[in-house]
Amino acid sequence: MAQDITNDLKYLRVLSEKFPTATEAATEIMNLKAILSLPKGTEHFLADIHGEYEAFTHVLKNASGSVREKVNDLYKNTLTLDQINELCTLIYYPQESIQLIRNKFKEEYPNNWEEILNNWYVVNLERVINVCKKSGEKYTRSKVRKALPQKYSYIILELMHEKSNDANKAEYIKSILSAILESGQAEDFIIAIATTIQRLVIDHLHIVGDIYDRGPGAEIVLEKLYNYHKVDIQWGNHDMLWMGAACGNKCCIANVVRISLRYANLDTLEVAYGINLLPLAALAAEVYANDPCNSFKPKMGKGSSESYDKKEEYLVAQMHKAISIIQFKLEHQLITKYPEYNMANRDLLHLCDFENGEIKLQTAEGEKIYKLNDTFFPTIDKDNPYKLTDKEQEVVDKLTNSFLRSEKLQRHIDFLYRKGSMYLVYNNNILYHASIPMDKNEEFKEVKVPTLVDKKASFKEFKGKELYDILDKTARIAYNKPTKVEDIEDIKLYEMAIDFMWYLWCGPDSPQFDKSAMTTFERYFIDDKDTHEEKKGAYYKLRVREDICDKIMKEFGVNPNHDTHIVNGHVPVKAKEGELPIKAGGKLMVIDGGFSKAYQKSTGIAGYTLIYNSKGLHIVKHNPFTSIQSAITNRDDIDSVTVVKERSSHRMLVRDTDNGKILQEQVEDLSELLTAYKQGLIKEIK
């Protein structure tokens, strides 16, 4: 043992600077051992938010029903349902709730509303303090204190930890509450405590992909996550699309703009990120002045952020068509540049017979001719259909410049890179957005990825965990331009990585997509829905089997026991058709149930979320959310139901978690330091 300590003396001397005496080292050991014996913190899993910021905000505030559960535990026998709803709403939206109460009392009790309001403050201060105490009971006092707003931390801790059934203490608490009221700080205190409850009830937030697209407020979601106390993100294909756009990938930029126009969500682009769409609007209005653009009318009422009159709606449709044609031309450039993508079947413009309004496609039965529902393509040269016109190229250049120069977009994308990854193994659960590419023989599928091969930028095949690791690295290369110009192969790899971001968005073997094709052209221009099919990869059929999930767990270094799970999003669970979010005997959970309003017609619900606490896992099903305003005014909570409850084999403590392993290592290091002090190998500083 002494020899081991001698070998570690260099590190132990550094550690001694933080714990300069044996007493301090011993105290910290006791503190850490106490923490290791506490129940693990609650983890909250969300996926496929797709810009639905109001529903996301509410689910974040109510912690998928966890706040209401604590309120019910405390008050189900003493408060009415209306009072419980009022208390929950107060915790979710304290400032707005207090304003409503104040206005109500002013109207109903004009002569003594302040006195009644003060009585209400006293009652609800005590209630929110009790809920806060309940929310923080699994944490150390130190952790609770750190979660509190600094200016009130001492007083709130006193209120939380003093017992009111003691006569002397009751008087002490009463005097504190009186002082809060007299100083006019009651509202501020309630807001502070409510915010603390929201902070304590969830210890760690996991976002399993797809923050962007379709809904009206992805930037609002990102801003909330940016300031969240503890969060990680597993990139979805829609996130990767925006990451690619922020890196300057022109195909990704065209797709981002197209989807924003398709769902009439231009606020995120124009207002939040300052993307200039005027050049595109000018081109579209000129080129498609006499085109009805019927296939390109925006999908209003499905989460769109704006309402348009007929003239505005028509301009959006024109812009939508213009950027779609530009997108198909740009994608051709990458498809031909990289045959390794194996996406030649996505080049369709040259297969069109524009004079007869037909297209010839290859099907399983052979070649088949389909009628086009649109034959007006003024920017397509039939002899060179993929060539951008000068004005289209100008639009592309200006859009690219706008994306690269958007300060807020770059800040949000930087956050996605810092907090995000292709996958995460955390507390024995494996989180990734969509799939692990697999072949028909039930083996992990090899996928070609740009990398350095013998110091040359080229493509190499990877599979399983190794594939995920190299893709994570490739995405980061795309965001970090090499500083040394003389490293030609590094520059080449950087450029290949930027191009590959588009493949990660829609490539057939991309783990974040894993479908035969993204049939955008067919959905716009061919009415026959047989051509719209996007066949899912083998993974989606295989993932229902326990042996396949065990195989994946082993690949990622996780022991496939009954307390281990795979968590996915990406493919909405069609609850209304009886599909369940839990698969493979409970080993795999899919929590995309339709957060996005665009999906709710097919799913029948408004999303699944997952809660993982010391007692086990809870999958919660949410019904559609009306609005934050309705939640405040009418005290409407999201109607959430636990559809799966899986208890752990034992009450999970901090020592059973990944963080617990780190703390245990710290205990061992401090124990060595304590021994070094006792043996005189390191002198105490007293």
What are the pLDDT digits (tens) for 536-559?
Answer: 999 999 999 999 999 999 999 999
Q: Check pLDDT > 70 for residue 54.
A: yes
Cα torsion 172, 178, 183, 189: sign: positive
Average pLDDT of the residues in 463-482: 96
Domain around 176: 43-208+569-652
Contact 589, 618 (CB under 8 A): no
More confident site: 486 or 432: 432
Average pLDDT of the residues in 191-204: 93
H/E segment holding residue 573: none
Model pLDDT for residues 266-302, shown as the tens digit of each residue = 999 999 999 999 999 999 999 999 899 999 999 876 4
pLDDT score recorded for residue 303: 46
pLDDT score recorded for residue 1: 42
Average pLDDT of the residues in 41-65: 91
Q: How many other C-beta atoms lie within 10 A of the C-beta of residue 86?
A: 18
Strands 588-590 and 582-583: what pairing? antiparallel
330 within some domain: no
193 and 58 in a common domain = yes
14 and 82 in a common domain = no
232: which residues sit within 8 A by CB, 6+ positions away? 204, 205, 206, 207, 419, 420, 421, 424, 426
162 and 104 in a common domain = yes
Q: How many other C-beta atoms lie within 10 A of the C-beta of residue 245?
A: 29
Q: Which of 478, 542, 555, 467 is nearest to 512 (CA)?
A: 467
201 and 65 in a common domain = yes
175 and 86 in a common domain = yes
573 within some domain: yes
Q: How far is 607 from 435, CA to CA, in rounded Å?
A: 19
Q: How far is 304 from 543, CA to CA, in rounded Å?
A: 34
Q: Check pLDDT > 80 for residue 320.
A: yes
Model pLDDT for residues 564-594, shown as the tens digit of each residue = 899 999 888 887 788 888 899 989 999 886 6
Contact 124, 105 (CB under 8 A): no
pLDDT score recorded for residue 633: 85
223 within some domain: no
Contact 37, 654 (CB under 8 A): yes
Weakest-pLDDT range from 190-199, 445-454, 643-652 = 643-652
Q: How far is 666 from 28, CA to CA, in rounded Å?
A: 9
460: which residues sit within 8 A by CB, 6+ positions away? 448, 449, 451, 453
Q: How far is 307 from 302, CA to CA, in rounded Å?
A: 11
Residues pairing with 583 in the sheet: 588
pLDDT score recorded for residue 628: 84
Model pLDDT for residues 427-441, shown as the tens digit of each residue = 989 999 999 999 999
Q: How far is 189 from 580, CA to CA, in rounded Å?
A: 43
366 within some domain: no
33 and 47 in a common domain = no
Model pLDDT for residues 136-169, shown as the tens digit of each residue = 888 888 888 888 888 888 888 887 776 656 666 6
For 357, the 3-state DSSP assignment is: coil
What is the rounded end-to-end Cα distance, in angstroms, of the chain? Answer: 26
pLDDT score recorded for residue 233: 98
332 within some domain: no
In one-letter notation, the amino acid at residue 192 is A
For residue 418 the two structure tokens come to 């810092």
pLDDT score recorded for residue 543: 96
Q: How far is 222 from 412, CA to CA, in rounded Å?
A: 7
* C-alpha atoms less than 13 angstroms from C-alpha of 645 in its C-beta half-sphere: 4
pLDDT score recorded for residue 182: 87
240 within some domain: no
104 and 25 in a common domain = no
Q: Quick check: pTM over 0.85?
A: yes
172 and 103 in a common domain = yes
69 and 173 in a common domain = yes
Average pLDDT of the residues in 374-397: 96
Q: How far is 679 from 627, CA to CA, in rounded Å?
A: 65
149 and 27 in a common domain = no
Number of domains in the chain: 2
Task: Say which DSSP state 42 is in.
Answer: P
Q: Secondary structure of the chain: what % helix, strand, coil (to 5)?
A: 55, 15, 30
How much is the CA Rg of the chain, to the nearest whole Å? 29
Weakest-pLDDT range from 10-14, 44-48, 242-246, 616-620 = 616-620
pLDDT score recorded for residue 599: 73
More confident site: 60 or 6: 60
* C-alpha atoms less than 13 angstroms from C-alpha of 528 in its C-beta half-sphere: 12
Q: 175-189 burial by CB neighbour count: b if 16+ within 10 A, else e? A: ebbeebbeeebbbbb
23 and 115 in a common domain = no
Q: What percent of the chain has pLDDT over 70?
A: 95
Mean pLDDT computed over every residue of the chain: 90
82 and 34 in a common domain = no
539 within some domain: no
Q: How far is 265 from 155, CA to CA, in rounded Å?
A: 45
411 within some domain: no
For residue 28 the two structure tokens come to 């910290």
Q: How far is 371 from 356, CA to CA, in rounded Å?
A: 9
Q: Which of 42, 43, 44, 45 is nearest to 569 (CA)?
A: 45
Q: How far is 144 from 193, CA to CA, in rounded Å?
A: 11
More confident site: 249 or 616: 249
Q: How far is 28 from 34, CA to CA, in rounded Å?
A: 10
